[in-house]
Structure 1
Amino acid sequence: MTQQDVDDWTPLRTESLLLRRPRPDDLDPAVQIHTDPSTNRHHPEPWTVTEESSARRFQELGEHWERHGFGVWVVEQLEQPGVIVGFTGLSHRTVHQRSALNLYYRYAPDVWGKGYATEAASTAVRHAAIHLSDLPVLAYTTPDNLGSQRTALRVGLDRMSELDIEHEHYTDIFFAHNWPAGAKSRESSGS
Protein backbone atom coordinates (compact mmCIF):
# COMPACT_ATOMS: atom_id res chain seq x y z
CA MET A 1 0.00 0.00 0.00
CA THR A 2 1.40 3.31 -1.06
CA GLN A 3 2.15 5.89 1.62
CA GLN A 4 0.14 9.05 1.02
CA ASP A 5 1.48 12.58 1.43
CA VAL A 6 -0.17 13.60 4.68
CA ASP A 7 -0.29 17.23 3.47
CA ASP A 8 -2.79 16.15 0.78
CA TRP A 9 -5.12 14.88 3.51
CA THR A 10 -4.92 17.28 6.43
CA PRO A 11 -6.03 19.81 7.38
CA LEU A 12 -8.95 20.27 4.99
CA ARG A 13 -11.76 22.78 5.13
CA THR A 14 -15.25 22.28 3.79
CA GLU A 15 -18.06 24.82 3.79
CA SER A 16 -18.74 24.29 7.51
CA LEU A 17 -16.03 22.00 8.84
CA LEU A 18 -12.37 21.59 9.61
CA LEU A 19 -11.12 18.04 8.96
CA ARG A 20 -7.80 17.30 10.61
CA ARG A 21 -5.54 14.52 11.75
CA PRO A 22 -6.19 13.31 15.31
CA ARG A 23 -3.87 14.47 18.11
CA PRO A 24 -3.28 12.79 21.49
CA ASP A 25 -5.30 15.52 23.27
CA ASP A 26 -8.38 14.48 21.22
CA LEU A 27 -8.68 11.24 23.20
CA ASP A 28 -11.27 12.42 25.76
CA PRO A 29 -13.73 13.84 23.20
CA ALA A 30 -13.23 10.72 21.06
CA VAL A 31 -14.09 8.41 23.95
CA GLN A 32 -17.07 10.59 24.91
CA ILE A 33 -18.56 10.50 21.40
CA HIS A 34 -17.88 6.82 20.85
CA THR A 35 -19.28 5.67 24.22
CA ASP A 36 -22.41 7.84 24.11
CA PRO A 37 -25.39 5.44 24.17
CA SER A 38 -27.09 7.45 21.41
CA THR A 39 -24.19 6.90 19.02
CA ASN A 40 -24.40 3.17 19.70
CA ARG A 41 -28.14 2.80 19.24
CA HIS A 42 -27.63 0.69 16.09
CA HIS A 43 -24.40 -1.02 17.14
CA PRO A 44 -25.02 -4.77 16.95
CA GLU A 45 -22.91 -5.39 20.07
CA PRO A 46 -23.13 -2.17 22.13
CA TRP A 47 -21.72 -3.83 25.25
CA THR A 48 -18.36 -4.06 23.43
CA VAL A 49 -18.10 -0.25 23.22
CA THR A 50 -16.34 0.73 26.43
CA GLU A 51 -14.01 3.55 27.40
CA GLU A 52 -11.12 1.11 27.02
CA SER A 53 -12.18 -0.16 23.57
CA SER A 54 -12.85 3.41 22.39
CA ALA A 55 -9.41 4.55 23.59
CA ARG A 56 -7.85 1.59 21.79
CA ARG A 57 -9.79 2.44 18.61
CA PHE A 58 -8.61 6.06 18.86
CA GLN A 59 -5.02 4.84 19.13
CA GLU A 60 -5.55 2.71 16.01
CA LEU A 61 -6.76 5.80 14.13
CA GLY A 62 -3.48 7.52 14.90
CA GLU A 63 -1.47 4.46 13.90
CA HIS A 64 -3.28 4.34 10.54
CA TRP A 65 -2.25 7.94 9.88
CA GLU A 66 1.35 7.07 10.76
CA ARG A 67 1.46 4.03 8.49
CA HIS A 68 -0.50 5.37 5.52
CA GLY A 69 -0.48 9.20 5.58
CA PHE A 70 -4.30 9.46 5.73
CA GLY A 71 -7.14 8.18 7.86
CA VAL A 72 -10.14 9.20 9.91
CA TRP A 73 -10.30 12.93 10.60
CA VAL A 74 -11.30 14.75 13.73
CA VAL A 75 -14.14 17.05 12.69
CA GLU A 76 -14.62 20.55 14.09
CA GLN A 77 -17.12 23.22 13.09
CA LEU A 78 -15.36 26.18 11.47
CA GLU A 79 -17.50 28.53 13.56
CA GLN A 80 -16.37 26.81 16.78
CA PRO A 81 -12.66 25.97 16.42
CA GLY A 82 -11.39 23.44 18.92
CA VAL A 83 -14.81 21.89 19.54
CA ILE A 84 -14.85 18.33 18.22
CA VAL A 85 -18.22 17.32 16.80
CA GLY A 86 -17.30 14.01 15.23
CA PHE A 87 -15.09 11.77 13.15
CA THR A 88 -15.11 10.97 9.44
CA GLY A 89 -12.60 9.47 7.10
CA LEU A 90 -11.14 6.45 5.40
CA SER A 91 -9.06 3.48 6.46
CA HIS A 92 -7.71 0.42 4.71
CA ARG A 93 -9.93 -2.62 4.99
CA THR A 94 -10.14 -6.04 3.38
CA VAL A 95 -13.65 -7.10 2.41
CA HIS A 96 -14.34 -10.33 0.57
CA GLN A 97 -10.60 -10.75 0.04
CA ARG A 98 -10.29 -7.38 -1.72
CA SER A 99 -8.48 -4.26 -0.58
CA ALA A 100 -10.82 -1.34 -0.07
CA LEU A 101 -11.26 1.87 1.88
CA ASN A 102 -13.73 1.85 4.74
CA LEU A 103 -15.71 5.11 4.99
CA TYR A 104 -16.37 5.90 8.63
CA TYR A 105 -18.53 8.58 10.27
CA ARG A 106 -19.59 9.10 13.88
CA TYR A 107 -20.91 12.36 15.34
CA ALA A 108 -22.04 13.78 18.65
CA PRO A 109 -25.84 13.59 18.90
CA ASP A 110 -26.20 17.36 19.37
CA VAL A 111 -25.04 17.96 15.77
CA TRP A 112 -27.11 15.24 14.10
CA GLY A 113 -29.29 16.50 11.28
CA LYS A 114 -26.94 19.35 10.31
CA GLY A 115 -25.48 17.50 7.33
CA TYR A 116 -21.96 17.31 8.77
CA ALA A 117 -21.55 13.58 8.15
CA THR A 118 -22.55 14.02 4.52
CA GLU A 119 -20.33 17.08 4.08
CA ALA A 120 -17.24 15.38 5.50
CA ALA A 121 -17.91 11.96 3.96
CA SER A 122 -18.30 13.59 0.53
CA THR A 123 -14.85 15.10 0.99
CA ALA A 124 -13.46 11.67 1.90
CA VAL A 125 -14.97 10.04 -1.19
CA ARG A 126 -13.64 12.84 -3.44
CA HIS A 127 -10.16 12.54 -1.91
CA ALA A 128 -10.21 8.78 -2.43
CA ALA A 129 -11.07 9.31 -6.10
CA ILE A 130 -8.10 11.67 -6.49
CA HIS A 131 -5.44 10.05 -4.33
CA LEU A 132 -6.45 6.37 -4.05
CA SER A 133 -8.49 5.81 -7.20
CA ASP A 134 -7.49 2.15 -7.48
CA LEU A 135 -9.38 1.30 -4.28
CA PRO A 136 -13.14 1.08 -3.89
CA VAL A 137 -14.81 2.98 -1.04
CA LEU A 138 -17.13 0.97 1.19
CA ALA A 139 -19.43 1.77 4.08
CA TYR A 140 -21.17 -0.83 6.16
CA THR A 141 -23.88 -0.60 8.75
CA THR A 142 -26.83 -2.54 10.11
CA PRO A 143 -30.21 -2.87 8.39
CA ASP A 144 -31.92 -0.65 11.00
CA ASN A 145 -29.43 2.25 10.82
CA LEU A 146 -31.29 4.32 8.26
CA GLY A 147 -29.33 7.50 9.01
CA SER A 148 -26.03 5.81 8.15
CA GLN A 149 -27.57 4.32 5.03
CA ARG A 150 -28.85 7.72 3.87
CA THR A 151 -25.41 9.26 4.37
CA ALA A 152 -23.76 6.52 2.31
CA LEU A 153 -26.24 7.04 -0.52
CA ARG A 154 -25.92 10.85 -0.40
CA VAL A 155 -22.15 10.68 -0.87
CA GLY A 156 -22.43 8.51 -3.98
CA LEU A 157 -22.18 4.97 -2.66
CA ASP A 158 -24.56 2.35 -4.02
CA ARG A 159 -26.28 -0.38 -2.02
CA MET A 160 -24.38 -3.62 -2.67
CA SER A 161 -26.39 -6.44 -1.12
CA GLU A 162 -24.08 -9.04 -2.66
CA LEU A 163 -21.37 -7.84 -0.25
CA ASP A 164 -23.50 -8.23 2.90
CA ILE A 165 -21.99 -10.35 5.64
CA GLU A 166 -24.16 -12.47 7.92
CA HIS A 167 -22.85 -12.80 11.46
CA GLU A 168 -24.34 -14.98 14.16
CA HIS A 169 -26.68 -12.29 15.58
CA TYR A 170 -26.61 -9.49 13.00
CA THR A 171 -25.90 -8.57 9.40
CA ASP A 172 -23.48 -6.00 8.03
CA ILE A 173 -25.01 -4.37 4.96
CA PHE A 174 -22.71 -2.68 2.45
CA PHE A 175 -22.64 0.38 0.25
CA ALA A 176 -19.84 0.90 -2.27
CA HIS A 177 -18.33 3.24 -4.82
CA ASN A 178 -16.00 1.88 -7.48
CA TRP A 179 -16.40 -1.77 -6.41
CA PRO A 180 -15.40 -3.96 -9.37
CA ALA A 181 -18.35 -5.68 -11.04
CA GLY A 182 -18.51 -9.36 -10.18
CA ALA A 183 -15.62 -9.01 -7.73
CA LYS A 184 -17.17 -10.60 -4.65
CA SER A 185 -15.80 -13.95 -3.69
CA ARG A 186 -18.11 -16.54 -2.17
CA GLU A 187 -16.22 -16.41 1.11
CA SER A 188 -17.03 -13.81 3.73
CA SER A 189 -13.78 -12.34 4.94
CA GLY A 190 -13.22 -9.71 7.64
CA SER A 191 -14.86 -6.35 7.23
Structure 2
Amino acid sequence: MAIHIPEAPGRPFRIPPGEMSEPQSNLVQRILAGPRKDLPINMEIWLHSPAFAEVANSFAEYVGHRAPMSKRIKEITILVVAAFWGSRFEWFWHERLARQLGIDEGQIAQLKERQAAGFDDPVEQTAYEVAFALLERRDMDDELHARAVRILGHAAVADLIGLIGLYTMVAFTLDFYRVPVPDIAA
Protein backbone atom coordinates (compact mmCIF):
# COMPACT_ATOMS: atom_id res chain seq x y z
CA MET A 1 0.00 0.00 0.00
CA ALA A 2 1.47 3.34 -1.06
CA ILE A 3 1.12 6.05 1.56
CA HIS A 4 0.69 9.62 0.36
CA ILE A 5 2.95 11.93 2.33
CA PRO A 6 1.78 15.53 2.11
CA GLU A 7 3.87 18.65 2.49
CA ALA A 8 3.17 20.92 5.46
CA PRO A 9 1.54 24.26 4.62
CA GLY A 10 4.23 26.84 3.95
CA ARG A 11 7.03 24.24 3.92
CA PRO A 12 7.18 22.83 0.40
CA PHE A 13 10.09 20.62 -0.55
CA ARG A 14 9.11 18.48 -3.53
CA ILE A 15 10.85 19.13 -6.83
CA PRO A 16 8.60 18.27 -9.79
CA PRO A 17 10.35 15.72 -12.03
CA GLY A 18 10.32 18.14 -14.97
CA GLU A 19 12.17 20.74 -12.89
CA MET A 20 14.94 18.44 -11.64
CA SER A 21 18.48 19.00 -12.79
CA GLU A 22 20.27 16.14 -14.51
CA PRO A 23 22.20 15.22 -11.32
CA GLN A 24 18.94 15.20 -9.32
CA SER A 25 17.13 13.10 -11.89
CA ASN A 26 20.03 10.66 -12.24
CA LEU A 27 20.21 10.17 -8.48
CA VAL A 28 16.48 9.52 -8.27
CA GLN A 29 16.76 6.85 -10.96
CA ARG A 30 19.68 5.17 -9.17
CA ILE A 31 17.81 5.19 -5.86
CA LEU A 32 14.71 3.65 -7.46
CA ALA A 33 16.88 0.94 -9.01
CA GLY A 34 18.82 0.34 -5.77
CA PRO A 35 18.08 -1.67 -2.63
CA ARG A 36 15.32 0.66 -1.39
CA LYS A 37 13.25 0.63 -4.59
CA ASP A 38 11.57 3.86 -3.55
CA LEU A 39 12.52 7.47 -2.86
CA PRO A 40 12.48 8.15 0.89
CA ILE A 41 10.91 11.43 1.93
CA ASN A 42 14.17 12.67 3.44
CA MET A 43 15.93 12.03 0.13
CA GLU A 44 13.26 14.05 -1.69
CA ILE A 45 14.25 16.93 0.57
CA TRP A 46 18.00 16.38 0.28
CA LEU A 47 17.73 16.50 -3.52
CA HIS A 48 17.81 20.30 -3.19
CA SER A 49 21.55 19.81 -2.62
CA PRO A 50 22.51 17.16 -5.16
CA ALA A 51 26.10 16.85 -3.93
CA PHE A 52 24.91 16.31 -0.34
CA ALA A 53 22.18 13.93 -1.53
CA GLU A 54 24.80 11.80 -3.33
CA VAL A 55 26.89 11.44 -0.19
CA ALA A 56 23.87 10.93 2.06
CA ASN A 57 22.46 8.30 -0.30
CA SER A 58 25.69 6.27 -0.27
CA PHE A 59 25.81 6.49 3.51
CA ALA A 60 22.11 5.57 3.87
CA GLU A 61 22.41 2.63 1.49
CA TYR A 62 25.31 1.28 3.51
CA VAL A 63 24.01 1.67 7.07
CA GLY A 64 20.40 1.07 6.13
CA HIS A 65 20.75 -1.84 3.72
CA ARG A 66 24.25 -3.30 3.45
CA ALA A 67 25.63 -3.09 6.99
CA PRO A 68 25.58 -6.56 8.52
CA MET A 69 23.03 -5.95 11.27
CA SER A 70 19.57 -7.42 11.54
CA LYS A 71 16.48 -5.52 10.47
CA ARG A 72 15.22 -5.76 14.05
CA ILE A 73 18.35 -4.05 15.38
CA LYS A 74 17.96 -1.34 12.76
CA GLU A 75 14.32 -0.69 13.69
CA ILE A 76 15.00 -0.78 17.44
CA THR A 77 17.79 1.74 16.96
CA ILE A 78 15.72 3.99 14.70
CA LEU A 79 12.89 4.01 17.27
CA VAL A 80 15.37 5.00 19.99
CA VAL A 81 16.46 7.91 17.78
CA ALA A 82 12.90 8.91 16.83
CA ALA A 83 11.75 8.87 20.45
CA PHE A 84 14.77 10.82 21.65
CA TRP A 85 14.32 13.58 19.07
CA GLY A 86 10.51 13.47 19.25
CA SER A 87 10.33 13.00 15.48
CA ARG A 88 6.69 12.15 14.89
CA PHE A 89 6.99 11.16 11.24
CA GLU A 90 10.10 9.04 11.82
CA TRP A 91 8.33 7.30 14.71
CA PHE A 92 5.17 6.73 12.65
CA TRP A 93 7.07 5.17 9.75
CA HIS A 94 9.37 2.92 11.76
CA GLU A 95 6.91 1.82 14.43
CA ARG A 96 4.98 0.00 11.68
CA LEU A 97 8.16 -1.66 10.43
CA ALA A 98 9.13 -2.70 13.96
CA ARG A 99 5.75 -4.38 14.46
CA GLN A 100 6.17 -6.25 11.17
CA LEU A 101 9.47 -7.61 12.50
CA GLY A 102 7.87 -8.92 15.69
CA ILE A 103 8.95 -6.25 18.15
CA ASP A 104 6.17 -6.47 20.68
CA GLU A 105 3.83 -3.75 21.86
CA GLY A 106 5.39 -3.56 25.32
CA GLN A 107 8.85 -3.01 23.88
CA ILE A 108 7.53 -0.42 21.44
CA ALA A 109 5.77 1.42 24.27
CA GLN A 110 8.98 1.42 26.36
CA LEU A 111 10.97 2.77 23.44
CA LYS A 112 8.40 5.50 22.79
CA GLU A 113 8.44 6.58 26.44
CA ARG A 114 12.26 6.50 26.46
CA GLN A 115 12.21 3.95 29.25
CA ALA A 116 14.53 0.96 29.61
CA ALA A 117 13.42 -1.73 27.19
CA GLY A 118 14.38 -5.38 27.32
CA PHE A 119 15.17 -7.73 24.43
CA ASP A 120 15.83 -11.46 24.78
CA ASP A 121 18.52 -11.55 22.13
CA PRO A 122 21.84 -10.37 23.65
CA VAL A 123 22.92 -8.71 20.38
CA GLU A 124 19.65 -6.75 20.18
CA GLN A 125 19.84 -5.84 23.87
CA THR A 126 23.42 -4.63 23.57
CA ALA A 127 22.70 -2.60 20.43
CA TYR A 128 19.66 -1.05 22.12
CA GLU A 129 21.68 -0.18 25.23
CA VAL A 130 24.44 1.42 23.16
CA ALA A 131 21.94 3.59 21.25
CA PHE A 132 20.10 4.50 24.46
CA ALA A 133 23.30 5.36 26.32
CA LEU A 134 24.71 7.49 23.51
CA LEU A 135 21.51 9.48 23.08
CA GLU A 136 20.00 9.63 26.54
CA ARG A 137 23.14 9.80 28.68
CA ARG A 138 25.70 10.88 26.10
CA ASP A 139 27.99 8.52 27.92
CA MET A 140 29.18 4.96 27.50
CA ASP A 141 30.22 3.43 30.80
CA ASP A 142 33.12 1.00 30.83
CA GLU A 143 30.97 -2.12 31.34
CA LEU A 144 28.70 -1.37 28.38
CA HIS A 145 31.64 -0.38 26.21
CA ALA A 146 33.42 -3.68 26.93
CA ARG A 147 30.22 -5.68 26.40
CA ALA A 148 29.48 -3.89 23.12
CA VAL A 149 32.95 -4.61 21.78
CA ARG A 150 32.74 -8.23 22.95
CA ILE A 151 29.20 -8.94 21.65
CA LEU A 152 28.95 -6.64 18.65
CA GLY A 153 32.57 -6.04 17.69
CA HIS A 154 34.18 -2.76 16.67
CA ALA A 155 32.84 -2.87 13.09
CA ALA A 156 29.23 -3.37 14.20
CA VAL A 157 29.58 -0.59 16.78
CA ALA A 158 30.75 1.73 13.98
CA ASP A 159 27.77 0.68 11.84
CA LEU A 160 25.39 1.22 14.75
CA ILE A 161 26.79 4.69 15.48
CA GLY A 162 26.43 5.48 11.78
CA LEU A 163 22.79 4.38 11.85
CA ILE A 164 22.15 6.61 14.87
CA GLY A 165 23.76 9.53 13.05
CA LEU A 166 21.83 8.91 9.84
CA TYR A 167 18.46 8.78 11.55
CA THR A 168 19.29 11.82 13.67
CA MET A 169 19.91 13.64 10.39
CA VAL A 170 16.64 12.25 8.99
CA ALA A 171 14.73 13.37 12.10
CA PHE A 172 16.14 16.90 11.83
CA THR A 173 15.28 17.05 8.14
CA LEU A 174 11.71 15.85 8.63
CA ASP A 175 11.19 18.18 11.55
CA PHE A 176 12.63 21.21 9.74
CA TYR A 177 10.01 20.74 7.03
CA ARG A 178 7.36 19.64 9.55
CA VAL A 179 6.56 16.61 7.40
CA PRO A 180 3.13 15.60 8.70
CA VAL A 181 2.20 12.11 9.79
CA PRO A 182 -0.03 10.81 7.01
CA ASP A 183 -3.63 9.92 7.68
CA ILE A 184 -3.52 6.30 6.60
CA ALA A 185 -7.22 5.87 7.33
CA ALA A 186 -8.09 8.37 4.60
More RCO (CA 8 Å, sep 6+): 2
Instruction: Say which one has the larger Rg.
Output: 2
Q: Which structure features the higher share of strand residues?
A: 1
Q: Which structure features the higher share of helix residues?
A: 2
